[in-house]
Structure 1
Amino acid sequence: MLYDSIGVGYTTARRTDPRWMSAILAALGGARTVLDVGAGTGSYEPTDRVVYAVEPSSEMIGQRRDGAPPVVRAVAEALPVKDSAVDAVLAVLTVHHWADWRKGIAELRRVAPRRVVLAYDTRLHTEFWFVREYVPEIAELELSRPSAPDIAGELGADTMIPLPVPWDFTDGVFPAYWRRPEAYLTVRDTCSALAQAPRHAVERGLARLRADLADGSWHERHRDLLELDEYDAGFRLILSR
């Protein structure tokens, strides 16, 4: 289980960002009961309605806050709930980790009439400066994962809403530090894209980034990014009703 190894200390780097939380709450609408699939530590679980959680990693379950919604250890491909058991199902940045993502999507459709999935466009992730300039090996990994448009099609989505990443984003997703490059020197162990890339490639890329930060060449090349308040890294909130 991937997150049993890289999930240690997850809550330190991956903290709920209120701007994404607001978008998720709006997408859930009036749903009174929610099943959070691939719930992890529960970063984006609502507190104003009844929530149940499903998570396969014992490491992640162990980091859930006191008083968090009840959680069952299970996988998305075999949800331990009845048909139409809840008003809405939520899946935040998890589909790309599922062994059989299409089977998992079918399960989301089975258990709830409203489905809210946060995923990302893998093509845009491969164009991210860190991948393009420092660890291009990550591109192969990303392109092997289901992309937001594919997930939307399988889900029969009504809407796909872009979720830009603010420059001061608090949730340490892979592109979160697009304007704070120094952070990539220390966040490797809590980022699946870096944790799953070949170790030698990551070490090489980080050494190059460290040198580019020291001599100012990164800032020179990316002067335009430093003027932006937010960046579209491909994250999409997918709604199916």
Structure 2
Amino acid sequence: MVDYDGRMGSVYVEGRGISSAEVARWTGAFAAYVPERRPLDVLDLGCGTGRLTPGLAVEFQGQVYGVEPADRMRAAAEQVPHPGVTYLKGSAEEIPLPEASVDVVLMFLTFHHWMDPVQGLREVRRVLRLGGVALLRTQFSDLMPDLFWYEYFPSARAVDAAMYLPVEETKALAVEAGLEPGADVVQLTAEEPRTLRQRYERLSVRALSTFEHLPADELEAGFARFAADAERDPDRAMPVYSASTLVLTRPR
């Protein structure tokens, strides 16, 4: 289990922060899959340092709740207050909100950290209003992207794949929890283009949970090669990857 109150919490903003323009691209992409009416109340479940949370308030114009179990991450989020956002301590399995209190739930790269996925999805269903939408932005073990930096860390691909469930198993858990999954996995593209040097600078602080599971010698050798490549060709444009997202609905 990754300790986000430890080292990861101290480097997350530096390694995973995103610009306001990228936040707007993400929230605009989410808007295509939720009800058109405004305002919409939103739960950012596992909001971390709140990198997307205020942007959800801007996009959807309702009350936004950022729920995060790690005190260090939540404290970082609270350093950038927004009048439409309330941050709360909680987890997927115990969401501190009343039944039928939000129209949208965003789960952005948090599902693989849940202790009890079915209970978490049941809680998502509980807090959603009828016809509400949950956006499960995650990876799937049978739909993994071919990330360029895997070449530096030979075991990273297998480590990542082991963190995630396949698509159909994830859908089955959602159905068991009373949610209705869309037929297809949606591919969103909202990531900011970055150069090789920019990618190295972000990844080298090791704010991805993948790096918590790699041996020290592999990390050392991989980042040495990565640094050398970034020094030789700093301005090379790196790939922008689509983001796998499963759209789940609470049936009316």
Mapped pair 1:62 → 2:71? no
Q: CA deviation at 1:186?
A: 5.3
Letter in 1 for 2:82: G
Of the three residues 46, 61, 64, the one matched with 1:51 is 64
| C-alpha distance after superposition, 1:109-135 (max 9, x if no partner) | 22213212211234554632321x211
Task: Indicate conservation of the 8 Å contact 1:126/1:138, yes or no.
Answer: no
Q: CA deviation at 1:33?
A: 1.7
| C-alpha distance after superposition, 1:77-128 (max 9, x if no partner) | 1223333232222211111111222321222122213212211234554632
Task: Indicate conservation of the 8 Å contact 1:138/1:197, yes or no.
Answer: yes
Mapped pair 1:93 → 2:109? yes
- With over 3 angstroms needed to count, the CA separation of the structure-2 counterparts of 1:28 and 1:3, relative to structure 1, is farther
Distance across 1 between alignment mates of 2:247 and 2:240 = 22
Query: 5+ unaligned residues in a row in structure 1: which ranges?
Result: 169-176, 220-224
Query: 5+ unaligned residues in a row in structure 2: which ranges?
Result: 175-179
Q: CA deviation at 1:22?
A: 0.8
Mapped pair 1:76 → 2:92? yes
Mapped pair 1:21 → 2:27? yes
- With over 3 angstroms needed to count, the CA separation of the structure-2 counterparts of 1:136 and 1:27, relative to structure 1, is same
What are the within-5 Å matches in structure 2 for residues 1-241 of structure 1? 2-5=3-6, 6-13=8-15, 14-16=17-19, 17=22, 18-29=24-35, 30=37, 32-45=40-53, 46-47=56-57, 48-64=61-77, 65-67=80-82, 69-112=85-128, 113-123=132-142, 125=144, 127-131=146-150, 133-147=151-165, 149=167, 150-155=169-174, 156-158=180-182, 159-164=184-189, 166=191, 168=193, 179-180=195-196, 183-184=199-200, 187=203, 188-213=205-230, 226=237, 231-233=240-242, 235-241=243-249
Distance across 2 between alignment mates of 1:72 and 1:211 = 42
Letter in 2 for 1:3: Y
Q: CA deviation at 1:157?
A: 1.4
Q: CA deviation at 1:214?
A: 5.2
Q: CA deviation at 1:201?
A: 1.3
Instruction: Report percent identity of matched pairs.
Output: 24
Q: CA deviation at 1:38?
A: 0.6
Task: Indicate conservation of the 8 Å contact 2:45/2:92, yes or no.
Answer: yes
Aligned length: 222
Letter in 1 for 2:25: R
Which residue pairs with 1:172 in the alignment? none
Compute the TM-score of the two structures, normalised by the length of structure 1.
Answer: 0.77
- With over 3 angstroms needed to count, the CA separation of the structure-2 counterparts of 1:186 and 1:24, relative to structure 1, is closer
Distance across 1 between alignment mates of 2:217 and 2:192 = 29
Q: Secondary structure in 1 aligned to 2:102?
A: coil
Task: Indicate conservation of the 8 Å contact 2:142/2:166, yes or no.
Answer: no
